[in-house]
Structures are given as structure tokens and as C-alpha cells.
Amino acid sequence: MRLRRVIVPATMTGRELLRRHVAMGLLTGLPLAFYGSSLSQGAQHAAVTGGIAMAFSVAGASIFAALTARPVDQRLVLAGYHPHELLLGRLLFLELFGLVVAALFSVIMVLGTGPQDPVLLGVGVELVAVASVPFGLAVGSLAPHELEGVLILIGVVGIQLTLSSTQTIAKLLPFWGAQRVIGHSVGVSPATGAAPLVGVAYAVALAGAAAYIAHTRAPASRAIGTR
Amino acid sequence: MVDTFATSAPLLDAVAITHSYGRKLVLDGASLSVQAGEAVAIVGENGAGKSTLMRICAGLIHPSFGELRVRGRVGYCPQIPGLFDLLNAQEHLALFAPVLGASEARVIREGRTLLDELGFPIGDRSPTRDLSGGARQKLNLALALLGGARVLLLDEPYQGFDHGSYVSFWEHVAGWRADGLAVVVVTHLLTDLALVDRLVELAIPGGETHGLESLVR
């Protein structure tokens, strides 16, 4: 795998996404709206809600990136790209984008909430971003259209938001690790334990799922030659 | 599969291709064989499976049944341009550069030459979303031609072209044939049939063809 085959798709994904100014504004404003509207129920509760709601932004952007790229990707793979190169390029840009948004959002929440452990709060929000990108790319690869993708996103993140991190179902969802870390940073959840590792493991598993889907969806022949 | 073609073997050979979308049969034993230096038109009613056959030949979908052999790089121009809305023409060319075995500058230069020949507004740095339908289609076609494809699969490639661009397109087809490329053009225009070597008419499964072969030169 040549680096250029990853960097160029990553760059173009970034340009395509960042030029959608209105969508970018909405995507970054959404978790702020969740955070602000939850403050009336307590700053701790708002931190957990706002942190998990950031998945709407980052996973939403990832779903959109995957779906808009689908028809172009077919041509790019036909031209010689490996599907995993395109996926990795997209993953790199979106993770960078997600980490930056999460860092900015963490600062706002630390100032607004005054958590017991500000660093842990930041780690939890970054974990949301880390898991959101492969989650969004996997959903974007599977969903036939944007509507289905968005509904899956709303369903998964919405359920995670309504559950306590101690509930069994919450532990099966992709943002449980981050939920537990953020909750512990503001004193509403038990000790984090292995939660950060679970969050990272979930992200890696989702990236693997996205890679598998990309592989199975690839054109029948990528190589120049006879088939 | 190992290449066992003789030198004179067709560059594209699709035999008895059958394909269904769910329960709907769209291709029933269609065959298409194209030699080097040959231009073939595919015609047929709406729903006859022309675009599906092109996508199968490009390797984008697996046929339910049938055999496909392709010798050489395929350039595929889809009916609906597969482009990023907010990238401009030059950025699209740059996106293809890493896999074409040439520097980005060289690929962009080659692409700009192709676009210029097709009458694309070469100085236009607008994102493709803001281009006219014809200009988008010219970029769509140019991307299919990048990198020296030997088999060109062009699915109604001149939608939105003005008259001059349309004439220029067919002059290019003549040039590609002379260069030994295998060219397949899906068309609905009967006037095009005088410009190709051979015609393959597809019928809706269970339906009949209209005997258009006589229109070929």
C-alpha cells in the first residue's frame, strides 16, 4: 500500500466534507444543543448527554462521507485503488476531524460543567469520536440510502443516551466505554475499569466490519488483465 | 484466471450473460464480443439491460450466470456521472493520479488535454455541482479515458453535449478504433449506428428486437 493512495483520498474527503459549510455548522452545533438543553437537569447529566451526542456529529459526517463516495469509489477501485486504501484514507481524515471537534467540545464542557476529572472527561469525549468514525463508515457502507443510515444512527445513539451505563443493553452498544468514562469524570458512574479499552476495542471491531463490507462491495475485478 | 487469449482474441468477450435483480430478470443470455479496433453500439428499449450489461462488463456487478473475459484495462463511463459534488475537475483528476502510475502533474496535464478536446470549459474551477450537465458528462468521460484503457465502455456518454462536442466525440471514437481500442457505446440515437462497426440489440427478456442491424454501415 503506497502512502499516496491513502493520503490523496483522505485529502479529497476532507475538501468535499469541509466545503459543506451549513452541514458542518449543524454537525458541530448539534452536540452543543444537546449539552445546553440538558443543563437544566444538572451539569453532570448534561456532560454525559452532550458527550455521547457528539456521536451524532462525527458518525453523521462519516455516514455521509461513505454514502456520497460510493459511486465514485467504484470507479476508483476499477482504476486501481484497493477498497481498503480508500477506507483508510477516509478513516484518517474523519478521525482527525472528530478528534479536533471533540477537543473543542471538551474544553466547552470542562468550562461549563467543572468535572471532578477534566482530563478523563476529555478522554471520554475523544473516545466517542474514535468510535463514531468506524461506526459511521460501517453504517454508511451497509445502508442503502442516507435515510436508512440516519435512522440507524438515531436509533443506536438515541438508545445509548436513554440508558444508564450500568444497564446490560448499554454495554452492548458502541459508545458504552465512552459513556462510562465521561460519567465517571463527573461522578455519576462507577469506576471506569476496562471501559476505555472496551471503547477502543469496539472502534477497532467496527473498523474491521467497515473494511470487510468495503471488500465485499468492491467491483468484481480491480486488476488490469483478464478475468 | 490465466490469460490464454490468442493475439487476435477479442478484448472483451461476454458470453451468455444472465442477470436478475431480485426476481426481475433483466438479461437473459446476452453476449457481447468486441475486437481490438472495433466500435460496437448497444441498443435496446428502456429496461433491456444495456446499462446492466455495461456494469457487468466493467466488473462492477457479478452476473448471475455467464462468462466474462476482458483483456486489458477497462475505462468505464457510467450513464450517471459518479463525481464528488464539491470537488472541481482538477481535483477529480488528482484523485485518480496515484493509481495511474504517473505523477499528479502528468495525470492532470493528460486530463486537461482530454477535457480541452471534448470542449470542457478548462479554466472553470467550479465544483462539479455548479457545472452544466454537458460539462459534468465531459468530465465523466475524461475520467474513463485516463490511464490508457484498452476497452472503453461508454454508457450514453454524450448526454447534454452540444452539437460540436457530439461531433468531436465521434471523431474521438474513430481515433480510438484506429489506435486499436475496443469501444462499446450504449446509445438511443439511430444516427449513431452509421458510425460503428457492429450493433448488438438487447431485448427485454421475453420480448423481441427490432432488427436494427441494417442501420450499421
The domain ranges of chain B are 1-72+150-217, 84-149
Chain A residue numbers with beta carbons less than 8 Å from the beta carbon of B146 are: 79
Radius of gyration of chain A (CA): 18
A217: contact with B, CB 8 A cutoff: no
Instruction: Estimate to the nearest angstrom the gap between the alpha carbon of A157 and the chain centroid.
Output: 11
Q: Which three cell numbers stand for residue B197?
A: 462497426
CA distances from residue A73 to A2, A70, A214, B123, B149 in whole angstroms, order as listed = 17, 5, 10, 26, 18
**pLDDT, tens digit, for every residue of A166-187?**
899 999 999 999 999 999 999 8
- Number of Cβ atoms within 10 Å of the Cβ of B10: 18
User: Region A50-70: what's the mean pLDDT?
Assistant: 93
B205: contact with A, CB 8 A cutoff: no
CATH fold group of domain B1-72+150-217: Rossmann fold (3.40.50)
Average model confidence (pLDDT) for chain B? 88
Question: B68 and A75: CB-CB below 8 Å?
Answer: no
The domain ranges of chain A are 4-217
Supply the pLDDT for residue A158.
94
Q: Which helix (H) or strand (E) holds A65?
A: helix A43-79
- Number of Cβ atoms within 10 Å of the Cβ of B2: 6
Fill in the DSSP letter of residue B130. Answer: G
Phi, psi angle pair for B74, to nearest 5°: -100, 130
Separation of alpha carbons A211 and A205, rounded Å: 10
Phi, psi angle pair for A215, to nearest 5°: -65, -45
Question: Residue B75 in contact with residue B62, Cβ under 8 Å?
Answer: no
Letter string b/e over residues B122-151, b meaning 16 or more CB atoms within 10 A of that residue's CB: eeeeebbeebeebbbbbbbbbbbbbbebbb
Supply the pLDDT for residue A37.
93
Question: B1 and A226: CB-CB below 8 Å?
Answer: yes
Phi, psi angle pair for B188, to nearest 5°: -115, -5
Which of B86, B107, B129, B146 to mutate against chain A (most A CBs within 10 Å)?
Answer: B86
**pLDDT, tens digit, for every residue of A120-147?**
999 999 999 999 999 999 999 999 999 9
**What ipTM did this prediction achieve?**
0.85
Supply the pLDDT for residue B50.
94
Separation of alpha carbons B51 and B58, rounded Å: 10
Question: Residue B33 in contact with residue B20, Cβ under 8 Å?
Answer: no
